[in-house]
Chain A
Amino acid sequence: MSALGWLILVLAVLAIVAVTFVVVRRRRRGGGVIATEGKP
């Protein structure tokens, strides 16, 4: 493969790793704003 080909491959892998980090972190950290069940 040409040098350019390798470069693209490395960047693609880094991008996948970065996205995985973000997705995994967001799923583990989670969280939201939750309203309780209404009680009179």
Chain B
Amino acid sequence: MSDSFRRAAGRKVISRASARVLGAVHDLLVDAEQERIAAVIIGRGRKAQLVDWAQLSGFGPDAVMVSDEGALRPPSDDRERAAADGKLGLVGKRTLTERGNEVGTLEDITFDPETGVVEMLRIGDREIPAGSLLGSGPYAVVIDAGQEPPP
């Protein structure tokens, strides 16, 4: 069963070792090259923490389980800090093709909760494969040109 970024937003993050609630999912950091979720961002702003996907014991429909609290870490570079501040959120971003034309707003992203591999991007009412994603950032999501509807 696929999970999605919209559904995962706000989901509780719980330590498997202590059963304590560590926070809630604020955003998911994507590695565009590998087309997978690199880390989960818990909370936002100065108090935000990241957990690398490999440190999760499970990404479930009701809670995200972290192996233990030690896996939480502060943002380590500018990109992670921007993500923690909410600037790199993909959902809701305008989507441009590499040819410079807007194709809509990125409404949601589906992924495999077992592996973190990103599956589909939903733009407006269309679904396109995650392989089309070329990059993303504070201004826009960029996809390859094959996805432009004919003029």
Q: Judge A-B direct contact (beta carbons within 8 Å).
A: no
